[in-house]
Amino acid sequence: MKIDTEEQVADLISKLEEATKLKKNGRCLKSTHSLPIAHEPVQSWKFNEWDYGKEQKIQLPCKARGLFTIGNRIVVRGYDKFFNVNEIPATKTQSLKSKTQPSYDLSLKENGCIIFISGLANGELIVCSKHSVGARDDLTRNHAVQGELEINKQLKRLGKSTKDLAIQLYELNLTAVAELCDDDFEEHVLEYSKENSGLYLHGLNYNTIKFQTCPIPEVNDFANNWGFKKIDSFQISGWDKLWDFLNQCAISGTYQNREIEGFVIRTKLNGTNDDFFFKFKFEEPYLLYRQFREVTKKYIRDANILKIIQGIKKHKFITLKYLEFIRDYFNKYPELKDDYLKGFGIIKMRKLFLKENNLSETSGMDLIGIDEKQSQNVDETKKLEEKLASLSLNSIKTYKYILIPIATIGCGKTTTFQTLTNCFPHWKHVQNDNIGSGKQAKIQLVDQTLTYLEDKDCKLVFCDRNNHQFRERDQLLKDFDKHRINHLSSDIGLKYVAINFIKKDLTEDQLWNITYDRIVKRGDNHQSIKSSTDSKLAQLIMKGFIKRLQPLNTERHPDCEFDLVIDMDIDDNSSKSNATKILNKLSSEFPDLFDKQNLPSSDKIDEAFQKALEYKPVFTKTFGRSSAQASSKKTDSNQKKKKKSIAYYGIGINDTQKFKHLINDKLVNNETWIQLCKQDRLQPNYHVTLSHILSVKDDEKLKIKWDQLTDQLQIKSDQLNDECDAVPVKFFGDIGLKRIVVVSNKLVTVEAELVRSLNGNFEELDQFPYTNKYLHVTLGTTEPEIKPFLSNVYIEELHNSLSKESIEDGIYTVKEDTVEVINFNTILEKQQCFYHF
């Protein structure tokens, strides 16, 4: 065993420091930890995961995965990162057979979190997770602290002290490498009972630059002496015997009737006699178990079974059976949902499902066998899908109805809805214009609607908002499904009716002429659009809505989810006839809504219509204030208009379809892109953000750039009014599309650059002084919880890890996610600038 000198460790640290300055290959990440037990700071050193396996391209100064130093001494040393069979060239089966010595020590790959334990010269014990040590504020679970608690309990049971262990480890110059397996702290895939929970010792590494580790018998002796749990281990003498054994175990996914994740194989290299580790991981049943876990979380967050079914690509039949099971289970025990989302009850749920199918707790491969057999019968799988859908419907005893308009300003929706609520007082009308602006406004609209439906006499609510874009309709439908559990019992179903005010054959000019004429006649009799006070502003707002309009399309998501569509006419004086049309259609399709009562007569509808025409709002909508500040008050035409501030500046992508086609040509076979397209998770419009107010408010230098951009785009404060949304300006940019970045199963984005800045005559200007570090266009995210701003996070991390000048096509690991990069040098010319509130 070779011991490093202080000079050799100092040289290593110097190389590690140099590696922290690299932009890409071999870049080292350093973090500093101050601990009460150490007189000097503890330094942690790690490399990007993808660098460890590139021996031919990258020579790392130390291959330890887990490396801590104090001064010029290595105090904690993990294993050299080892790889799965066939994962890298060094672990190809032929290479392993020819380059390793024919005596192999196998140990079970325990399923927990790594803990390093070592001793300091002062007799203190240092306990680390893979790359961290000590208490931290940014963690919900601190593995290092939990590991320290566990080792203290373990030593106390033996009547030994942490100082005793620290001194022995320090004198031997060793790091004890253990796996913390405790389902009460953190559940993984495999189960650990109370008696089997604890620290499993599977390695003793010398604190040296070169990887040197003690043989398994010494590790087991150390475990016995210090109260660690021992890993199961044994030896196989030859490669052929080893390979036959591993493949035989992979068939069942078990060893000695216990489901395991796989084996770690320890050997030595021919010629050098160096220690060498590799692993053999079982693919199944762990992929299935992980799918069960993810499906359960999706079901808890959004019990839209049909949507979940669409996302199941593998093991479909057995996962549908599992879905059926968890649906019934959570109906009985809804209080257990929160625990599951926190990571508890995952294994229990799986075991209950196995029991339900009369299988033992180690029958994961039997589940796969059932799946493979049943999946060949397409009809059986289809029947199960239909059964799940019907189960969701059969539990419903009564329905309530939410009517959602698709309109622009001036289509007459409020008058139509007021006419109907005048006829049916138990029907309610929620107006978005009566809700203040702010982050909670969308949820308030949903909550007010659902709150009305809590009343047993209220069967229908008009959710009055323009909903002129797909994303708005999508947001409403998802939020109603998400929040209904807080208002309605599970035996009440919701049906969504689209009230479509804009027919496909209506041209923009026709829409403008009809609606603007109405707005002029209405004058200031509106919560926010005051055409008499400011006709230019009213025109600007209305044109914005018409330009952004995405007409109803029931052949695509989300419009295909409406239970009924009722088309309106918006000719002059059409609100009365539209109200009649809605009544007739509802009575035909949903007779339960009327409880056998007669529809109102024509005279009654006319009376209700005249009353609706007299409606005057008593609320003035003020944007940019919280809902608590927004209050109903009499409209004052002399009231000074509130100014609102710009949220961000951007450059829009003019031709959305052309842009999508460009991306599709590059990603036609990419699974994440296909997922976004199928699930309709692509953004309806695209833009490049130049500068966002949140990124500049605490940085004086960036504030200067913000002001310069404001001046260059000729934005004046007296132009900023309450009701503006995205406002185009007569400046343009040539946008260079540099590379597509696909974060697997999360998002697709395009890194961009500003090639030229142009005025309204397309004459070149000095470059717009943008403040976003990396310009980009987000195309879509796979889940609502994955926010578009994460595009910037991943692109920045990619640049931090690699050289900006040489980010090549390829697969990378960023923030532990798989990221594919496709370089994409295309320029979109003369794209228009805008500002957004």
Active site residues: 109
Q: What does the block give as tokens for 395?
A: 């539990």
Tell me the CB-side half-sphere exposure of residue 77, using CA atoms within 13 A.
Answer: 23
Phi, psi dihedrals of residue 83, rounded to the nearest 5°: -120, 160
> What are the residues facing 565 on neighbouring strands?
498
Report the run of H or E that residue 662 belongs to, with start and end.
helix 656-667
Q: What does the block give as tokens for 343?
A: 């990571």
CA–CA dist 540, 546 (Å, integer): 10
**Which residue in this structure is represented by tokens 């057999």?**
373
> What are the residues facing 819 on neighbouring strands?
743, 812
Q: What angle do CA 79, 82, 85 make, to 5 degrees?
A: 155
Determine the distance from the C-alpha atom of residue 799 to the mean position of all C-alpha atoms in its chain, rounded to a whole number: 21
Determine the distance from the C-alpha atom of residue 632 to the mean position of all C-alpha atoms in its chain, rounded to a whole number: 37
Q: How far is CA 535 from CA 12, 524, 532, 540, in A?
A: 72, 10, 6, 9
Cα end-to-end distance, the chain, whole Å: 66
Residue 617's closest CA among 422, 414, 463, 818? 414
Determine the distance from the C-alpha atom of residue 93 to the mean position of all C-alpha atoms in its chain, rounded to a whole number: 37
> What are the residues facing 176 on neighbouring strands?
117, 204
- The sign of the torsion formed by the CA atoms of 405, 408, 414, 420 equals negative
Say what angle helices 656-667 and 671-678 make with each other, to 10 degrees: 140
Residue 413's closest CA among 522, 547, 508, 560? 522
Neighbours of 682 (CB within 10 A): 18
DSSP assignment of 222-248 equals HHHHHTPEEPPEEEE-SHHHHHHHHHH
C-beta of residue 395 within 8 angstroms of C-beta of residue 490:
yes
Three-class secondary structure assignment of 438-484: CCCHHHHHHHHHHHHHHCCCCCEEEEECCCCCHHHHHHHHHHHHHHH
- The sign of the torsion formed by the CA atoms of 302, 307, 311, 315 equals positive
CA–CA dist 42, 395 (Å, integer): 59
- Hey, is 832 helix, strand or coil? strand
Phi, psi dihedrals of residue 403, rounded to the nearest 5°: -100, 125
Neighbours of 701 (CB within 10 A): 9
Strand segments (E) across 501-596: 564-567
Phi, psi dihedrals of residue 695, rounded to the nearest 5°: -85, -10
Report the run of H or E that residue 219 belongs to, with start and end.
helix 216-226
- Hey, is 659 helix, strand or coil? helix
* Residue 345 per-residue DSSP state: S
Helix ranges, 87-161 (H): 93-99, 143-158
Phi, psi dihedrals of residue 142, rounded to the nearest 5°: -105, 105
Beta strands 262-268 and 104-108: pairing type? Answer: antiparallel
**Which residue in this structure is represented by tokens 């959602």?**
404
Three-class secondary structure assignment of 692-743: EHHHHCCCHHHHHHHHHHHHHCCCCHHHCCCCCCEEEEEEEEEEEEEEEEEE
